[in-house]
Amino acid sequence: MKWKNIAYTSWGATTETEVQAGRPERVRDVINYVEQSAKLETHLLAIGACKSYGDACLNEDANVLLMERMNRILDFDPRSGEITCEPGVTFNELFELFLDKNWMPPVTPGTGYATIGGAVTNDVHGKNHDRDGSFGDHIKWIELVNSKGEIMRVSARKHNDLFRATIAGLGLTGVITAVNFQMKEAPTNAVLVRYKRMNNIKDYIDRLIKARGQYEFSVGWIDMTAKGKNLGRGILEEANFADTNIEYKRLEPKKIPKIIPGFAINRLTTKIFNNRYYHRIPEKGLDKFVPLQKFLYPLDNWKNWNRLYGKKGFYQMQCVLPDKTAELSITRILGACHTAKISSPLAVIKTMGSEGAGRLSFPMKGVTLALDFPNTSRTLNVIRNIHEIVATHGGRIYLAKDNVLDTATFRKMYPNYRDFMNTKDSYDIINLFSSSLSRRIEL
């Protein structure tokens, strides 16, 4: 099998990584690549669309398998909605193939470009976590190639330990070659969205918790530049399926040039943008029919929007906090950003319903907050400060978005890490599967 030297970044684009890459097209190729890497004693990691923001999909100075060509639908039952597909299938492809048959992925992240392999190994969540949990909750079985080059089928009944280590397992248990999961019924291709202004963080969290599970989907945006009595104000979107289909054709996303001269996301541009964005919704609120994919993937209109942050890239921090500490801790997080004079143009808040099925699943019952930060000299300090606040208040950081967390804080936030490591050690004795993230947090 051929390896090619490539350099790539994750979505945050803070670090360029050089690797030897293989591009399997079938399971036999995966086995060959695994056997070669084991022989060469080189770490290996399968990767999807690299929509992880941090280093979960990086494997500095080692080998990676680009899984994009393994993107076949292997089986689909139109009556039950049960599907089996290869890991390189994207969420966009599932929508294109199945939405007109009234099926959609059970859970989807905020980008349609992510792959099913990435969704399994980060146990991704969407705007319906309260009702539907995370991706792992809908998986019946997973097929993977282990470090001995053997194909294993794992499920809640068979090799349950490996099944639960593979969901949210960050690609560290093997190369996934097929996934069987249950799709969700989508009665129409659109949602009726109710947009509401939230005046401050207390109102926001009260509303999110009170309305938990009442709507099919919900998500909120926070104006990070607002202070004082408006701290944490924003726009909440609550949505249910529309009664009828609407006309919709997904357009090719517009491209953002590599470097936009003279443009930068900074506190001033963020303040101007946020003020407009907040006031576009009238005080009494607004109801609007929106195509489902547009609602679920608002940022996908722009390909490579990460370039807006310039050459140095950006960090995203996403945390989840238990209901009872959410208001206090999020107030402290917003305060820490104001003190450091750092602003996030994209601040997203959602509720979560329950723990995920994976040993290292991110979700827990509570409130989740995601903040994007341009990569400046102050950013890392602010993020570390936030990690401390989150750890103190019983929360955790999402590893799919992280490249800053230290080992001790990770272990505090993910107490099941030991079970995960025991399982990994017993199935991957030679520690073949590894990533920049796993080496950073000693996983």
Catalog residues that contact ligand FAD under the rule CB under 6 A.
Answer: 11, 45-52, 56-57, 67, 87, 109-111, 114-115, 117-119, 121-122, 124-126, 170-171, 175-176, 299, 400, 435
For ligand FAD, the closer CB: 117 or 220: 117
For ligand FAD, the closer CB: 14 or 231: 14
Structure tokens at 101: 């048959």
- On whether the CB atoms of residues 217 and 128 are closer than 8 A, the answer is yes
- On whether the CB atoms of residues 63 and 46 are closer than 8 A, the answer is no
For ligand FAD, the closer CB: 63 or 225: 63
Cα angle vertex 12, ends 9, 18, to 5°? 15
For ligand FAD, the closer CB: 188 or 304: 304
For ligand FAD, the closer CB: 409 or 434: 434
Q: CA–CA separation, 368 vs 351, rounded Å?
A: 6
Q: CA–CA separation, 354 vs 343, rounded Å?
A: 30
Closest distance to ligand FAD from the beta carbon of 208 (Å): 15
Q: CA–CA separation, 396 vs 121, rounded Å?
A: 17
Strand-pair partners of 155: 141
Q: CA–CA separation, 328 vs 331, rounded Å?
A: 5
- On whether the CB atoms of residues 346 and 372 are closer than 8 A, the answer is yes
For ligand FAD, the closer CB: 81 or 126: 126
Closest distance to ligand FAD from the beta carbon of 40 (Å): 19
Q: CA–CA separation, 355 vs 313, rounded Å?
A: 31
Closest distance to ligand FAD from the beta carbon of 59 (Å): 8
- On whether the CB atoms of residues 320 and 362 are closer than 8 A, the answer is yes
Closest distance to ligand FAD from the beta carbon of 351 (Å): 13
Q: In Å, what is the CA distance from 407 to each residue of 87, 181, 274, 304, 413?
A: 29, 33, 35, 31, 10
Q: CA–CA separation, 88 vs 73, rounded Å?
A: 10
For ligand FAD, the closer CB: 111 or 270: 111
For ligand FAD, the closer CB: 168 or 231: 168
Closest distance to ligand FAD from the beta carbon of 31 (Å): 13
Q: CA–CA separation, 312 vs 110, rounded Å?
A: 23
Closest distance to ligand FAD from the beta carbon of 95 (Å): 15
For ligand FAD, the closer CB: 242 or 399: 399
For ligand FAD, the closer CB: 53 or 226: 53
Residue that has been written with the tokens 């560290």 in this structure:
172
CB count in 10 Å sphere of residue 280: 10
Cα angle vertex 165, ends 161, 171, to 5°? 145
51 Cβ neighbours under 8 A, 6+ residues apart? 11, 109, 111, 113, 114, 118
Q: Indicate the residue type of 218.
A: S
- On whether the CB atoms of residues 152 and 428 are closer than 8 A, the answer is no
Closest distance to ligand FAD from the beta carbon of 398 (Å): 7
Q: Indicate the residue type of 236.
A: L
CB count in 10 Å sphere of residue 429: 11
Angle between helices 323-339 and 201-210 (to 10 degrees): 150
For ligand FAD, the closer CB: 198 or 360: 360
